[in-house]
């Protein structure tokens, strides 16, 4: 199983509260991620940095034109800040769930087992599409996980 990567404040930008991923290994070599997974993960991690910082522009920067519901003020306020932040808080750590992910370069999906401020175990999933040569997020979802079911 893949190691958790911790999300913490990025040291480079003074007052920025965007998290940076940092591998926490226990001396074991992690399997190399495919180029498709790395590409999708970079887009998702950028969006989650925006989410953690409460930065609507950064969160939605890589959302697809076809994303439904369309990203905007209402979705940010009601879904991301009003529901996800209230229920989950900030994303603290991520671990790729390779079994549930489908890292297709053009129509991929990544699923992460997640530790959040208010939920010790949750899932973050994102569906992707390639638009004009760039990977974009079509859907970003957070959900609770019953620890007894794991």
DSSP 8-state class, residue 120: S
Residue 48 has pLDDT above 50, yes or no: yes
Closest by CA to 69, choosing from 143, 125, 141, is 141
CATH 3.10.450.50 fits 33-149, yes or no: yes
Whole-number Cα distances in Å, 68 to 41, 54, 72, 127, 130: 20, 20, 11, 11, 15
At 105 the pLDDT is: 87
Q: Is the separation of the CB atoms in 135 and 62 below 8 Å?
A: yes
Give residue 146's pLDDT band: very low, low, confident or very high (50, 70, 90): confident
At 148 the pLDDT is: 75
Per-residue tokens: 47: 């969006």
**Surface-to-core class of residue 99, CB atoms within 10 Å of its CB (0-12 exposed, 13-18 middle, 19+ buried):** exposed
Mean pLDDT score, 102-129: 95
Give residue 5's pLDDT band: very low, low, confident or very high (50, 70, 90): low
Mean pLDDT score, 91-118: 95
Closest by CA to 96, choosing from 134, 18, 44, is 44
pTM of the model: 0.80
Give residue 37's pLDDT band: very low, low, confident or very high (50, 70, 90): very high
Give 58-97 as a 3 state SS string: HHHCCECCCCCCCCCHHHHHHHHHHHHHHHHCCEEEEEEC
The residue to which tokens 């034109």 are assigned:
65
């Amino acid at each position: 199983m893949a190691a958790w990567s911790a999300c913490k404040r990025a040291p480079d930008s003074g007052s920025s509260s965007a998290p940076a991923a940092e591998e926490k290994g226990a001396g074991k070599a992690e399997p190399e991620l495919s180029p498709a997974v790395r590409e999708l993960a970079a887009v998702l991690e950028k969006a989650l940095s925006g989410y953690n910082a409460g930065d609507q522009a950064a969160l939605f920067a890589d959302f697809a034109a076809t994303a439904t519901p369309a990203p905007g003020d209402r979705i940010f306020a009601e879904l991301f800040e009003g529901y996800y932040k209230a229920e989950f808080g900030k994303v603290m750590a991520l671990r790729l769930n390779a079994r549930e992910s489908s890292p297709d370069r053009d129509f991929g999906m990544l699923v992460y087992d997640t530790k959040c401020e208010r939920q010790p175990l949750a899932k973050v999933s994102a569906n992707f599409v390639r638009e004009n040569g760039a990977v974009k997020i079509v859907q970003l979802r957070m959900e609770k996980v019953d620890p007894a079911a794991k």
